[in-house]
């Protein structure tokens, strides 16, 4: 895992140092929030969103970039190197920096801004066993939490085939990502995915090519599939009634991963769809092809 390298003290003369600062400021340009560039997700530099940060002209080998020690996906687009940065829901609004390493050059950093965003609160009622855990269930949850954290640390050097994802299942997409949830009146962590309403048994399709890196029955998530698409882009599918893939399997766009269900902590049949970038859950809406208007 790449780690941020502190900049060495500059020994440049003042004029060269000023020019360097000006160049760094230009390179730090973040593509405007909400803009969609060809082949890139929508930019929304807020907690739980995505920042698109210009790293300079796309000449030579790609630079390596990291945020808070986590490697960041870098893609050539429009003749520029663009860092596609997932911003954690817990991020504090304000100035952020990426550590950037160009081949054969000294490391430097590039800045971008994270704006504030308020998420709604959502109250849900579920089976008491999924709120007041027994010792046995709590121990199971802790084991599964550690296992999933290890799986989500996956980094593969091959870039994703696309950053525009097809919907894994047709249905109404909720805007519940980031909502502060209460279960049976007890506050819990914010919702880190998108719930898509679909009937039980509806096939769930891979939204892009990738490799299955986890399958299993989780206490909260139910039957779960995790797919690695490359360079820290990972997708998660929960509450399935059936899993139709195995760990290590390569999947093409549209390949069936399983069937919609209501396993785990769920109020009814639906798909919980999660998208992760550089170990940060981000709003799937920013990468999904827009839903077709209702006829």
> By three-state DSSP, how is residue 47 classified?
coil
* Predicted pLDDT at 7: 34
CATH superfamily of 121-286: Glucose Permease (Domain IIA) (2.70.70.10)
- Dihedrals phi, psi of 287, to nearest 5 degrees: -110, -15
- Give the start-to-end residue ranges of the domains of the chain: 14-114, 121-286
With cut-offs at 50, 70 and 90, classify the pLDDT of residue 292: low
Greater pLDDT, 167 or 184: 167
Give the tokens for residue 29. Answer: 């340009």
What gap in Å lies between CA 233 and CA 42, rounded to an integer?
15
Q: pLDDT digit string (tens) for 130-169?
A: 667 789 999 999 999 999 999 999 999 999 999 999 999 9
Identify the DSSP state of 173. B
Q: pLDDT digit string (tens) for 36-47?
A: 445 899 999 999
CATH class of the domain comprising 14-114: mainly beta
Residue 191 near residue 177, CB atoms below 8 Å: yes
With cut-offs at 50, 70 and 90, classify the pLDDT of residue 176: confident
Identify the DSSP state of 279. T
Give the chain's mean pLDDT. Answer: 85
Greater pLDDT, 110 or 30: 110
Residue 47 near residue 28, CB atoms below 8 Å: no
Identify the DSSP state of 24. H
- Residue for token digits 């299942």? 169
With cut-offs at 50, 70 and 90, classify the pLDDT of residue 35: very low
- Please give the torsion angle defined by the CA atoms of residues 196, 201, 207 and 212, in that order, rounded to the nearest 10 degrees: 120
* Predicted pLDDT at 85: 98
Mean pLDDT computed over 168-174: 92
**Cβ neighbourhood burial of 52 (10 Å; 0-12, 13-18, 19+):** buried
With cut-offs at 50, 70 and 90, classify the pLDDT of residue 267: confident
Greater pLDDT, 142 or 186: 142
């Amino acid at each position: 895992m790449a780690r941020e390298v502190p900049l060495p003290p500059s020994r440049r003369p003042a004029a060269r140092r000023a020019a360097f600062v000006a160049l760094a400021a230009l390179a730090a340009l973040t593509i405007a929030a909400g803009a969609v560039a060809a082949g890139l997700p929508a930019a929304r530099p807020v907690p739980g969103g995505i920042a698109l940060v210009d790293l300079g002209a796309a000449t030579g080998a790609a630079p390596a970039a990291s945020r808070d020690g986590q490697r960041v996906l870098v893609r050539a687009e429009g003749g520029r190197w663009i860092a596609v940065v997932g911003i954690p829901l817990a991020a504090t609004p304000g100035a952020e920096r990426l550590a950037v390493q160009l081949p054969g050059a000294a490391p430097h950093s590039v800045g971008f801004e994270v704006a504030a965003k308020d998420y709604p609160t959502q109250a849900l009622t579920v089976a008491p066993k999924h709120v007041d855990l027994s010792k046995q269930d709590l121990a199971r949850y802790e084991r599964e939490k550690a296992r999933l954290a290890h799986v989500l640390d996956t980094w593969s050097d091959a870039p994703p085939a696309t950053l525009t994802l097809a919907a894994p299942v047709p249905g109404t997409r909720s805007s519940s990502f980031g909502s502060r949830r209460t279960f049976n009146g007890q506050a819990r962590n914010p919702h880190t995915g998108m719930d898509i309403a679909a009937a039980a048994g509806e096939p769930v399709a891979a939204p892009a090519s990738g490799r299955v890196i986890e399958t299993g029955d989780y206490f909260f998530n139910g039957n779960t599939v995790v797919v690695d698409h490359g360079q820290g882009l990972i997708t998660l599918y929960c509450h399935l009634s059936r899993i139709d893939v195995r760990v290590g399997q390569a999947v093409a766009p549209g390949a069936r991963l399983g069937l919609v269900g209501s396993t785990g902590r769920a109020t009814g049949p639906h798909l919980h769809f999660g998208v992760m970038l550089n170990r940060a859950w981000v709003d799937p809406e920013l990468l999904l092809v827009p839903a077709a208007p209702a006829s």
